[in-house]
Amino acid sequence: MLVMTPAARKSQRRKERRALEARRGKLGRTRYDALVKELADVIRLAFDAGATASLWGMEGPLRAGIRADLCLQGWSWGTADLTACDMLAEAFRRVRAVRPTWNEGQPEWVIHEGLLIERTRCVRCSAPLPEGHHKFCGKACSMAMHHYIASLKAANEQTAVRLAVNSKRKTS
């Protein structure tokens, strides 16, 4: 594992801060702050009104909307997406939202011990389950699914998006 020295970490943080400030600079500091305040208000209002089950319920549509507006103003998709992500991160900080862990976001998290789920198809390949099998049709599907989940847990945001998109293509 690569271990960074304190000086290298400081340099890396400085570089990331400059990149963030450069993206913010394209909007202007006052406009950026005003948009973040509006986003925080919308997030809090939607949650308080019961329109979303969590503070994170509007993250996808808001990010897509901001990104689309910035693209229509001539921004590149990548820069617009990073800026939208930065703005939402700041808005969530302002409403004191704590992002759930990856495990907490999975359906299995709310399935309590002892709750029986009758499956008739393999979780991974959707083949009919053989007699005596409860989740996977065989060892190959079981190992592949566990490897895939482990890679998702270890992935950063960009890698997770790539893995999710690729898995959608395989299943379609």
In the predicted structure, residue 1 carries a pLDDT above the cut 60: no
pLDDT of 106: 78
Distance of CA 114 to the CA centre of its chain: 30
Average pLDDT in the 57-70 region?
A: 94
In the predicted structure, residue 172 carries a pLDDT above the cut 50: no
Report if residue 167 sits inside a domain.
yes
Q: What is the domain extent for residue 37?
A: 6-94
Percent of the chain whose pLDDT exceeds 70: 88
> In 10 A of CB 105, how many CB atoms?
11
Q: Could you tell me which of 90, 107, 93, 83 has the C-alpha nearest to residue 25?
A: 83
Report if residue 16 sits inside a domain.
yes
Same-domain status, 63 and 113? no
Same-domain status, 90 and 11? yes
Same-domain status, 44 and 83? yes
DSSP string, 22-37: HHHHHH-HHHHHHHHH
Q: What is the total count of domains within the chain? A: 2
Report if residue 153 sits inside a domain.
yes
